[in-house]
Amino acid sequence: MNNAVQITINGRPVSVPAGIVVAAALARSGTIQFRSSITGQPRGPLCGMGICMECRATINGQTNCRSCLIVCEEGMEIRTYG
Amino acid sequence: MADGSISCEVAVVGGGPAGLAAACTAAESGRRVVLLDESPWLGGQIWRGEQNAAAHPHASAWFARFDRSGAKVLARSTVISSPAPGSLLAEQDGEGFQVKWDRLILATGARELFLPFPGWTLPGVMGPGGLQSLIKNGWPVSGQRVVVAGSGPLLLAVADTLRKHGANVRMIAEQASWSSVIRFGLGLAAHTSKLLQAALLKLRLLGIQNRYGAWPVSAEGKDRIQMVTLTDGAETWKLDCDLLACGFGLVPNLELAMALGCELKDGFVRVNDLQATSIPNVFCAGEPTGIGGADCALVEGQIAGYASAEFKAQAERLFAKRRSWHTFRTALAEAFALRPVLKNLATNETIICRCEDVSLGRLRQCTHWREAKLHSRCGMGACQGRVCGAAAKFILGWEPESIRPPVLPARVGSLISSRSEKSGGHFR
């Protein structure tokens, strides 16, 4: 995890260690609320292993990606549903 | 996966200890093996993040053995259905492809059991195993105040990971009683490696408050958890925290087995001596057949791999070892059996289905799972009942219904691609 990769989170450029997952990058950027529920409640990752879908985010334009299972790559654009 | 379909003699679904072991023995027996896993890594949840710096004594040896075995890996590949016997439909990086198999080994592992309580949906309330997995992949916990709660040997392991990564573990609250856990610990004498592992773990966790017969009753906070209330049934107390890692043991991932029509017994996939399910040529190993941990899964996986290659004698040589781990499995279930009072953690206002925000009160207007799905949309959201189904089973005694494909949300394009199968596929 020595090298850094540049990604954007909700349009804001950030630098994160290589090899970390998108969910971890979001948490490092300061928020653990990834989305709002259908009744507007704050939600963040629960299961950490691709089961609960609570960590879903848009990654490079693809909606509803499980951010806990996807490793950050250079230039990745991430949008949360907060 | 750019195009079409691939074919193999043995397909293994899941790359945790059971799947790795199964793929190894099947490939070493001369079969063409393809292993599919959802994540970018091998090792499942338990060995996640140990590919480079293996802390688990078995992990590095098994990774090396797998590399030598000749089995192929399809990483980031989610199995979404079984459109016909001998065929799986999977998705990799948003594209669908088919896997044709002669033998199939299901090693789909387990997930954590989440029991709803007021405040459990707040960001920062996470599964202990889930948090551990995320920490291994960069989730920041340094300086954070964390309470670890729920049930099972995993709690101590997670507390240790948290400690190593600089978190301030404020308390470990295990719902099982001290006497029950001690009895289990003494019973480990038959599994000396486990006993040593447990003793070293306890030693490293000296100084962290460890309560037995205690569990969380509510979490509070604005937009994220800030405080948890715990009880031992007599007194209650509050702890400020930034994260609450709370899970009540493991439940098997049965969706694919059920979609294939495999018979269940007592909530697990029913298998025979050779790990064969009720469906011809379909085997199952590891947690879907009973929650026994990584060592049990490794033995079952090896048996399933040999059996799939029709190397029966090799499989039989492992039966005694498996019996010993099954004794451990039974002891584990007894020691960490959930106390019935946990059924009362959720109030009528507590959300049970997080995807569709369905409360327990709403569910109580229904009499069974199917009715709840039809009337409240419980279990109909993105996770398709994976979280609330197990909770509803524990709280209300509802059994899950049959599984319909796709077993996980998939892109329409992936489903369409299953119709236009191409021949002569290749790997990666």
pTM beyond 0.95: the answer is no
| Of B94, B125, B354, Cβ closest to residue A37 | B354
Domains of chain B with bracketed CATH: 5-111+251-333 (3.50.50.60), 114-248 (3.50.50.60), 340-396 (no CATH)
H runs (alpha helix) in B205-318: 255-260, 293-308, 312-316
Contacts with A19 from chain B: Cβ below 8 Å:
137-138
Q: Which residue of B has its CA nearest to A26?
A: B139
Q: How far is A42 from chain B (nearest CA, A)?
A: 6
Backbone φ and ψ of B296, nearest 5°: -65, -45
Tens-digit pLDDT profile for residues B334-382: 999 999 999 999 999 999 999 999 999 999 999 999 999 999 999 999 9
State the maximum Cα–Cα separation within chain B, in Å, rounded to a whole number: 66
In this predicted structure, the answer to whether residue B42 has a pLDDT above a threshold of 50 is yes
Contacts with B134 from chain A: Cβ below 8 Å:
21, 23-24, 27, 45, 48, 68
DSSP state of B343: G
Q: How far is A75 from chain B (nearest CA, A)?
A: 17
Tens-digit pLDDT profile for residues B194-219: 877 888 888 788 889 999 999 999 99
How far apart (Å, rounded) are the C-alpha atoms in residues B374 and B354?
Answer: 16
At residue B415, the pLDDT reads 76
At residue B214, the pLDDT reads 98
**Of B354, B402, B292, nearest in space to B17 by CA:** B292
In this predicted structure, the answer to whether residue B54 has a pLDDT above a threshold of 90 is no
Q: Which residue of B has its CA nearest to A47?
A: B130
In this predicted structure, the answer to whether residue A20 has a pLDDT above a threshold of 80 is yes
In this predicted structure, the answer to whether residue B427 has a pLDDT above a threshold of 70 is no
| Of B76, B112, B356, Cβ closest to residue A38 | B356
Domains of chain A with bracketed CATH: 4-79 (3.10.20.740)
Query: A62 and B94 in contact by Cβ < 8 A?
Result: yes
How far apart (Å, rounded) are the C-alpha atoms in residues B235 and B199?
Answer: 29
| pLDDT band for position B55 (cuts 50, 70, 90) | low
Cβ atoms A14, A72 nearer than 8 A:
no
In this predicted structure, the answer to whether residue B1 has a pLDDT above a threshold of 50 is no
State the maximum Cα–Cα separation within chain A, in Å, rounded to a whole number: 41
In this predicted structure, the answer to whether residue B221 has a pLDDT above a threshold of 70 is yes
Residue type, A52: C
| Cross-strand bridge partners of residue B340 | none
Weakest-pLDDT range from B65-69, B316-320, B377-381: B377-381
At residue B423, the pLDDT reads 37
Query: A46 and B39 in contact by Cβ < 8 A?
Result: no
DSSP letters, B347-404, are -TTSEEETTTTEEHHHHTTSSSHHHHHHHH-TT-STTTTTTHHHHHHHHH-PPP----
How far apart (Å, rounded) are the C-alpha atoms in residues B108 and B287?
Answer: 8
In this predicted structure, the answer to whether residue B420 has a pLDDT above a threshold of 60 is no
How far is residue B143 CA from its own chain's centroid?
Answer: 28
Contacts with B127 from chain A: Cβ below 8 Å:
46-49
Weakest-pLDDT range from A44-58, B55-69, B141-155: B55-69
Cβ atoms B217, B148 nearer than 8 A:
no
Query: What rounded mean pLDDT belongs to chain B?
Result: 92
Task: At B132, list the tokens.
Answer: 């551990």
Task: At A72, list the tokens.
Answer: 């950050």
Query: B131 and A34 in contact by Cβ < 8 A?
Result: no
Contacts with B76 from chain A: Cβ below 8 Å:
69
Most A CBs within 10 Å, among B113, B125, B134, to test the A interface: B134
Residue B123: C-alpha distances to residues A46, A82, B221, B225 (Å): 8, 11, 9, 6
